Chains A and B, each alone.
Chain A
């Protein structure tokens, strides 16, 4: 822990402490704010809104798939549903969720800075996100799009129905939000760490954000250019991807996956950062093999850029190219496995508190393991030929994205909720919902592995009778999982007003963000702290934090 020159401990008393929440109440004070914490709250509201929209699409899809016949909506509507589900969830929920909400809120707090390096650019990135999001919703209500979130040409550029150009422009615009966030984090982490806070004293959350920023900066521009070309081709028939005009549709796939595969790591790496912090806190231990966990994030980011071709084994790319992509894909599994083993070793001889964030983190370990291992199936060329573009793929990436990333997001939100709002969520409901979501999730997606092996292609509105039972099971699971999310949404809202008030450090966690009052003041630190301790120094923390009122017993 750091020796801070002037820590203002939050009063547990009646008087409302001055915080970033009370620094202005009007619309302007929010919409023109350059405070990273307020921008994080803006993101929290908008990202959750998009999650609800995306989840609604998913719910309608599962309702439709409960029976083999298309009896809820027609095929075109169904296709628009899964396209919008993909676009909204990926570009407006998964990519921004942890970096833009938790990252924005926590990066300056964790490294002992007053704000991100470029506060105005930070606000700008939120506005860009909103413009992109509004355009996407506009595309959805003025005709929708049915290209799938992958925008494959020539279908998207020539044959598809609806507002493809508008949606492509919306994705293009949203990309800038992601680039600017990455740029801001990169500079902030490099240049604004508090004195004494060396790279290896940083929380692993920061390492994960750093690796993520690199991918955002390097990958996002490529997809921006690519979808822009699709929009141009659709409007002006310029002939870059459409073979009828002389173009090469497979080139599109290369450019698309050059971003969209690393983007998977944009989504999962920040989650891994959250898990490291949460597990350390609730085991009361330093993360086992800190530097290995840190470097494995970097290894994943670097390797992640060289595996995009594993999405294209069946597209007819050369077998030798596939071979190289295949072995690199196998290698990505190694740093991921290293992380899992280190988290487990962190539990060993710990002092484990099964709080809500910890339950989500443990769920993450299990589900991410399944998601990662099934990724190996898809990385092997011969195996992929059968299960490529089937429900096996759908199940695999939902295990990584929902089982992994959403679990991590919920872990992080619960963990830092008291820091953000100064109030605690109801713990019993938290645990109940966590278990509910875990069970519902597995019920939804385990059957899909089997469906995929049996050969059910993804993006099918009608499907053969023999797949009916497993699909029904999956739909039932989705309902259960949806109920779980609803519970979380309700009690979180409730807790903002009625939750138990907490002090600076209800979890007795280490890290600079827990040394300042909850919620923090606008300027975070009265003076910049000087750090003289290693990360996760729970050994030293045990002696110190006796007095404070705390939820952890």
Chain B
């Protein structure tokens, strides 16, 4: 029974190697210092233990030099590991080019995933090996946290906002997904499996599904919610009767910098689009009136993601 006790987590992502290097350095540091303290204490108490003929204690006031040394050395060490850890963090927070975009919605007590082609799964996530995967995540109720130990990544999933994380799997296999932020009764059962597959196998797996592509679902939503009555979806489009559009055009919107009333600028991303749908008054684009109603309560988180993906797909014709 005591054989095969696993002591290490799988390492299955591009950052796991660098992570583990720093980790083991810290473990080494801890072991060395702890050993130093334990051995030091044991030696001191055995040498200076009071016996029948041991000398009385020698009173020592202190030593500025020693104080400086043992203030300085820890200071240098902690600054050093801070620099190492921070450099790693900064490097790992940069998402590589062309990630596979996936969307995660947390809810008591399950993880709902959505693939680029609309395939959905619950508590499972199938991903291709060797490609960076970016997860855009939100929650429908309380705070959760998406945690894949084998990839060394974790990010809180907060209701009312998007959070993102990425990883690049390097090893085919099945790994744990945990919810790491306590979220209620069945918190410990809000777990799942991530399945890392070879690229072609992943394609096969995807094509076996019948989901509607999310941007197609988004297009349908865009029409059924009558968004197009204010927001043009083609270049130069005007509204009925030739009037100028009441809202900003959606063409080439995603990723652009919009100028707001008052002169501030904002980058159009998932978060901005979500906010504009749920709380249109928060940021008014320069040149437009604040007339858009809120869709809070009418659209679910997954539908908002589909709308954002649809808007993302509306690129300028000339390819810019």
A and B: direct contact (Cβ < 8 Å)?
Answer: yes
Contacts of B143 in A (CB 8 A): 152, 154-155, 249
Q: Does B81 contact A (CB under 8 A)?
A: yes
Cβ–Cβ < 8 Å partners of A382 in chain B:
19, 22, 85-86, 88-89, 92
Binary contact track B139-164/A, C-beta < 8 Å → 1, others 0: 00111010101101111101111010
Interface residues of B in 169-213 (CB under 8 A from A): 176, 178-189, 191
B182 and A289 contacting across the interface, CB-CB below 8 Å: no
1/0 per position for B209-243, CB-CB distance to A under 8 A? 00000000000000000000000000000000000
Quick one: CB contact mask for A337-361 with B, threshold 8 Å, 1 for yes?
A: 1101110110111111110000000
Residues of A close to B58: CB separation below 8 A: 285, 349
Binding site for A on B (CB under 8 A): 1-2, 5-9, 19, 22-23, 26, 29-30, 33-34, 37-38, 40-41, 44-45, 48-50, 54-63, 66-67, 70-71, 74-75, 78-79, 81-82, 84-86, 88-90, 92-93, 108, 141-143, 145, 147, 149-150, 152-156, 158-161, 163, 176, 178-189, 191
- Not counting A316-B163, A376-B29, a sample of 8 additional A-B residue pairs whose C-beta atoms are within 8 angstroms of each other reads A75-B188, A243-B159, A244-B159, A288-B63, A316-B156, A319-B93, A327-B79, A454-B9
Q: Which of A284, A330, A354, A390 contacts B57 (CB 8 A)?
A: A284
Closest to B163 in A: A316
Contact B45 A352 (CB under 8 A): yes
- In angstroms, Cα B126 to Cα A428, docked, is 61
Q: Which of A326, A376, A461 contacts B86 (CB 8 A)?
A: A326
Q: Tell me how far the C-beta of B230 lies from the nearest C-beta in chain A, rounded to whole angstroms.
A: 24
Q: Which of B44, B54, B92, B176 contacts A347 (CB 8 A)?
A: B44
Closest chain B CB from A307 CB (angstroms): 13
Q: Is A457 an interface residue (CB 8 A)?
A: yes
Sorted nearest first, the 3 A-B pairs with minimum C-beta distance are: A455-B149, A243-B160, A380-B85
The residues in A between 116 and 169 inclusive whose CB is less than 8 angstroms from any CB of B are 146, 148, 150, 152, 154-155, 158-161
With A350-B57, A369-B34, A385-B153: A288-B2 Cβ-Cβ less than 8 Å: no
B178's partner among A323, A333, A455 (CB-CB below 8 A) is A455
Given contacts A152-B181, A334-B74, A338-B71, contact A348 B48 (CB under 8 A): yes
Q: Does any Cβ of B come within 8 Å of A476's Cβ? A: no
The reply on A539 being an interface residue by CB < 8 A is yes
Q: Is A362 on the interface with B (CB-CB < 8 A)?
A: yes
**A284-B57, A319-B93 given as contacts; is B182 within 8 A of A385 (CB)?**
no
A386 CB–B CB distance under 8 Å = yes
- Interface presence of A365 (CB below 8 A): yes
- Contact, CB under 8 Å: A316 / B161: yes
A388 pairs with B78, CB closer than 8 A: no
> Is there an interface contact between B158 and A249, defined as CB atoms closer than 8 Å?
yes
Inter-chain contact A352/B79, CB cutoff 8 Å: no
A sample of 5 cross-chain residue pairs with beta-carbon separation below 8 angstroms, ordered by A number, consists of A76-B185, A319-B93, A381-B85, A381-B89, A459-B188
- Residues in B with CB closer than 8 Å to A344 are 37, 40-41, 44
A457 CB contacts on chain B under 8 angstroms: 147, 178-180, 188
Neighbouring B residues of A338 by C-beta, 8 Å: 67, 70-71, 74
Q: Which residues of chain A are within 8 angstroms of B44 by Cβ–Cβ distance?
A: 344, 347-348, 350, 352
Q: Which residue of A lies closest to B152 (CB)?
A: A386
Residues of A within 8 A of B182 (CB): 79, 148, 150, 152, 155, 389, 458-459
- Which residues A363-395 have CB closer than 8 A to chain B? 365-366, 369-370, 373-374, 376-377, 379-383, 385-386, 388-390
What distance in Å separates the Cβ of A434 from its nearest Cβ neighbour in chain B?
14
The reply to whether B67 and A154 form a contact with Cβ atoms under 8 Å apart is no
Closest A residue to B37 by beta carbon equals: A369
- Which residue among A350, A462, A470, A539 has the maximum number of chain B CB atoms within 10 Å of its CB? A350
**Is A460 within 8 A of B188, CB to CB?**
yes
Chain B neighbourhood of A464, CB < 8 A: 176, 191
Complex Cα–Cα for A322 and B61 (A):
40
Name the CB-closest residue of B to A542: B56
Q: Which residues of chain B are near A381, meaning CB under 8 Å?
A: 85-86, 89
From B92, B141, B155, contact of A314 by CB (8 A): B155
Contact A161 B70 (CB under 8 A): no
Chain A CB within 10 A, most for which of B33, B161, B179, B184 = B184
Chain A residues closer than 8 Å to B88, beta-carbon distance:
382
> Does B152 lie within 8 Å of A385, measured CB to CB?
yes
User: Chain B contacts of A341 at CB under 8 A?
Assistant: 66, 70
Asked if residues B180 and A351 are in contact (CB atoms below 8 Å), the reply is no
CB of A430, distance to nearest CB on chain B (Å): 17
A538 interface residue (CB < 8 Å to B): yes
How far apart sit A159 and B185, CA to CA, in the bound complex (Å)? 10
- Give Cα A422–Cα B70 distance, bound, in whole angstroms: 40
* Interface residue A427 (Cβ < 8 Å from any Cβ of B): no
- A residues within 8 A CB of B75? 331, 334
Q: Is the CB–CB distance between B156 and A386 below 8 Å? A: no
Contact A351 B48 (CB under 8 A): yes
Is the Cβ of B59 less than 8 Å from the Cβ of A538?
Answer: yes
Q: From residue B153, how far is it (CB to closest CB) to chain A in Å?
A: 6
Contact B92 A75 (CB under 8 A): no
Q: Is the CB of A354 within 8 A of B48?
A: no
CB closest chain-A residue, reference B155: A314
In the assembled complex, the Cα of A146 lies from the Cα of B70 at a distance in Å of 44
Q: Point out the residue from B7, B19, B61, B153 that lies within 8 Å of A454, measured CB to CB.
A: B7
Complex CA–CA separation, A290 to B63 (angstroms): 10
Cα separation A421 to B81 with both chains bound (whole Å): 49
Question: CB-CB < 8 A to B26: which residues of A?
Answer: 376-377, 380, 383
Give Cα A326–Cα B79 distance, bound, in whole angstroms: 10
